[in-house]
Chains A and B, each alone.
Chain A
Amino acid sequence: MKGSRQQEIISRHSLLWLLITNVVILLPLYDKLTPWSMAICGICLVWRYGIFMGRVAKPPRLLVTTLALASALTLALVTSKIGLLNGLINLLILGYSLKYIEMRDRRDVRIVVIVGYILIAITLLGQQSIYFSVLLTFIATINTCVLVSLYREDVKLNETARIGFSLIIQSLPLAALLFLVFPRLPPLWMMPQLKTEQTGISDEVSFGEIGRLTRSAALAFRVKFDGAPPRNHQLYWRALVLEDYDGQTWRQHDSIKMLESNHLAPRSRSDPKGPSLEYSVIAERSNQHWLFGLDVAFSDTADIVQLPDYRLYSPKSLTQKFQYRVKSIPSMPMDMTLTEHVRNINLQLPDQNNPRTHTLAKEFEARYPKPVNRLNAMMNYFTSQPYFYTLTPPPVGPQQIDDFLLENKAGFCVHYASALTFMARASGIPARMVTGYQGGEWNKQAQYLSIYQYMAHAWVEVWLEGRGWIRLDPTSMIAPERILEGFDAYFQGGDSYFMDSPFSALKLRNYPFLNELRQTFSSIDFYWSVWILGFDSSKQEQVLHQLLGKITREKIAFFMLSSLALIILVIAYSAGLLHFSRGKDKISSAYLKVCKLLDKKGVPRRFDQGPMDFCLTVESQLPVIAGDFSQLTQYYIALKYRTLTPSGRKSTTKLFIRLSRQLTLKLIKL
């Protein structure tokens, strides 16, 4: 195309669109940028703005190349620190910014737009909420507008935007159809994962630990039960079992950690028997591995490991929302027999630690030889003494449990669970700490439970001969409402527990109407997670089955083709390709309508009368409208019998229609 070379120059209009696009594409990626990349992006943006305003010239190619090489080198150096994927993303962003300042012709613009789409996709790797998705679709549309602006240079911004948006809106139905029927494939190969901060409970717990989580109103996971949900006090979501205690911190035992890191399910559990609860869990991104389940939990979802301590574990860290199915059998005992090794682990206590608690435990052991009675007594000990449940407990010294149990007598779940586990072990009963979440907020509209970070909880499991591991929650003795009705019932609004989320929508729950609204938004987000983010081949089958009945290849092909044809027709119609004939002539019918009205008023038009003759008749018989009618007749004759320019025809038609309406009104009033 040698002839159109001149046309390859980028117009100012496109430059403005590019400027807008650059900002909106890079903004959501700010958290992935290294400070260096951010600085270079900023320089590029300022430079581009300078070029746009005509203040500075384009940088010489050599400078751009040098900058590009330098930034690539710097990134290569920091890649090990920020992770391979982050390094690549930074490289792409830098390329995007640099290309942006040295653009010369339309081809460069097209490349920048293509990279823009890739950057949008990368943003979607980290951000998946419905609101973000809508925002990113919006950004993708703006990116598309850049391309439109290449072909419509002389119009205003809003005209380009109108075209871009209508193109996208018209493309949505087909995209939805493809989303619905296109087969979902398993991952083709392993991809490097994003390195980001871990959220949620961690694999070690000390006295301050869970207190930190109770300040967060972030969503941890959501659960949809197949049947009715259990009562709040039965909702103990197990995530971690902590067996190692060094006097300060509870940790997972090394043997379990080994199993986890080897991704092995070492022994097959006995088949699930007894009444079961079935539900699906949608875990939020935590960048951790542990999953959540009630009691003895099984899962047949691929890529889930069932650990010997009856927990569910994901070998891949949860870098995005993850949905899995769980079957729980509350009545099923855990570990009817305990190996010597496991027993020893769960009886171990650090030497010379918390001597006063040791003594107390020995007293219990002497007084109640039967383990069941002893545990009951220990639990009751918390009610018999003035213990107090608080999220801001007083500080403790190196003998943590002694200080808490015998001095402060104030603390939250971790304190009580630590103390009970310690006492049980000290008196010879195998015991361990379990952390996870307790309770959940019921969403009436969409019928699911939301579990937030502040519902993080710690409790105790003790092993009894003939019964296996039994759950004990000392917190329920001090603050029974916390367990029976949920965390929110105990801390009516007010307390310190949203300190890290000052703008959380959860604060709205004191206002019934706003709370309703919040729940509605939550359910929309829930459906989004289930149906869009969690749409996999089984969901696909389910939907197609509902739409088509028994799924056959022919049916899908027919469904595909007919919907495609329909969509194409709709796009063609909205693009103005199909014209349905208007039926009758607008001008004649308007004129005849006036004639008919005149007939009613006593001025009939004879068959042999042309419009001019009739006009004379009207003028003599109805002088009130004579002027208007003769004007109307003139327009009518002009439109019907004269050759007019297209614009003249348009304006005359407009005048004619307006006048005919006025005349109709006048005649009716007459």
Chain B
Amino acid sequence: MMNRANSTESINPNKPSLWWNAWLARRLPPSKQITLAHKSIFILPTGFGLLWASLILLLFILGTNYQNNLIIGLSFLLASLFNTCIIYSYKNLAGLSLSSLPSPQAYAGETLVFPIKLSSKQAQFEVLVSYPNNQVNVVKVIKEEAQLSLLQFNNPSRGRIIPGRLKIESRYPLGLCRAWSHIDLDNQVIVFANPIESHSTLSALDTDDISLTLDKGLHVQGVDEFKGLRQHIPGESLRQVAWKQLAQGRGMLSKEFQQPQGQPLWLTLDNLSAVDIEERISKLTWSIDKLSERGQIFGLVIGHYKIPPSDGESHRLACQQTIALLPFRREIG
């Protein structure tokens, strides 16, 4: 939990007062899918709206001083136009449905992308979507068919990133009013640590440190473990032909076997050569990716927590997430 508090703080340096956040959280609770309605839309005049109001006043005074009803009428028309714009501003957000999609993986320091799906029964125009202090996405037209907007989120640190409240705003049709909403799409993402190239873990692969390894390392083609079936190549040994499958009419297939080779590897923070724990975590991140790329079986030991050796994408993600979520500490004790 400390992690969570930590990361939000680092994202939102000038965050609004707490009661405002608490009020928003009560009024617009986090949800994966949100449709904006009167409860979630706020409208206030923009700076241009205030200028407009002073224009109305100016014309009214001009009309009064010249006793010119047409100029007074023009000022009323502009005032009424303002009123119409409030309704249109509301309409331009009301009924807007937003839902979050899972984010692609990202490493610390990279720009994170949050994909958001937008759709609305009635056409809506020029809606600005952004996370606080990040680039604003302009969605020109939103229609019934959902469209994707990829929201950028700059320079996150490793760990669980909660982007906070998404700001949606629109000044359509005349820029007099700003309708906006802050919604929480409940779309957190775990950002992996920034990878730093490290050869100490990879070289550990070559050492025969039996005490660390009980399992085997890399798989190579062999005879011990059944791996699967593949197309039979003419001229191959008939011993490997899967006769049962041939009888079932599935064609000539060969059984493939593999055999683990070398030593399976345990990754740990302790056998990395760096004083700073963050740097070690970064090196570990790099190693996990590198090993996964090679198809190496490896396990992870962080203190008392162990991830048993395995390989494959899900194993890689599990390992990366585990180290990404390690508490921040400047120095190791």
Contacts and interface: CB of A to CB of B under 8 A. Distances in A.
A170 B128 CA distance: 26
Given A114-B51, A575-B88, A645-B145, A147 B80 contact: no
B59 A121 contact: yes
B52 interface: yes
B219 to A, nearest CB: 43
A568 B87 contact: yes
Contact of B66 (A7, A185, A320, A577): A320
A191 B125 contact: no
Nearest to B141: A154
Contact of A133 (B58, B70, B94): B70
Interface in A91-125: 106, 110, 114, 117-118, 120-121, 124-125
For chain B, the bracket of interface size reads: 35 or more
Nearest to B59: A121
Given A3-B130, A124-B71, A147-B173, A188 B65 contact: yes
A577 B91 contact: yes
Interface string B161-190: 000000000011111000000000000000
A179 B73 contact: yes
29 contacts: A3-B130, A3-B134, A4-B138, A121-B74, A124-B74, A128-B68, A133-B70, A137-B77, A151-B126, A151-B171, A154-B140, A167-B85, A167-B173, A172-B77, A174-B79, A174-B83, A175-B76, A179-B69, A179-B73, A182-B76, A189-B65, A190-B65, A191-B65, A320-B68, A532-B73, A535-B69, A571-B87, A575-B88, A577-B91
B231 interface: no
B66 A191 contact: yes
A397 interface: no
Interface of B: 48, 51-52, 55, 58-59, 61-81, 83-85, 87-88, 90-91, 94, 122, 125-126, 128, 130, 134-136, 138, 140, 144-145, 171-175
Nearest to B46: A110
Contact of A3 (B74, B91, B135): B135
A314 to B, nearest CB: 12
Contacts of B175: 106, 110, 147, 150-151
Contacts of B68: 124-125, 128, 320
A170 B72 CA distance: 18
Closest 4 CB pairs of A and B: A3-B136, A174-B80, A171-B80, A178-B76
A646 interface: yes
A148 interface: yes
Contacts, number: 150
A168 B73 contact: no
Contacts of B55: 114, 117-118
A285 B211 CA distance: 109
Contacts of A150: 175
Given A121-B71, A191-B65, A577 B173 contact: no
A121 B91 contact: no
For chain A, the bracket of interface size reads: 35 or more
Interface centre among B59, B70, B71, B125 (most CB of A within 10 A): B70
A171 B172 CA distance: 16
Contacts of B80: 171-175, 178
A533 B84 contact: no
Contacts of B58: 118
A216 interface: no
Main secondary structure of the interface of B (DSSP, over half): helix
Given A1-B136, A121-B62, A175 B77 contact: yes
A577 B94 CA distance: 8
Nearest to A163: B173
Main secondary structure of the interface of A (DSSP, over half): helix
Nearest to B136: A3
Contacts of B136: 1, 3-4, 7
Given A171-B84, A175-B76, A179-B73, A187 B174 contact: no
Contact of B78 (A3, A110, A117, A136): A117
A646 B143 CA distance: 10
A8 to B, nearest CB: 11
Nearest to B75: A121
A184 B73 CA distance: 11
A492 interface: no
Contacts of B173: 147-148, 151, 163, 167
Interface in A175-203: 175, 178-179, 182, 184-191
A168 B76 CA distance: 12
Interface string A153-177: 1100000000100011011111100
Given A3-B130, A117-B59, A577 B52 contact: no
Given A167-B88, A171-B80, A128 B70 contact: yes
Contact of A576 (B63, B122, B128, B130): B122
Contacts of B69: 179, 532-535
Contact of A187 (B48, B65, B172): B65
B174 A124 contact: no
A190 B65 CA distance: 7
B128 to A, nearest CB: 6
Contacts of A163: 173
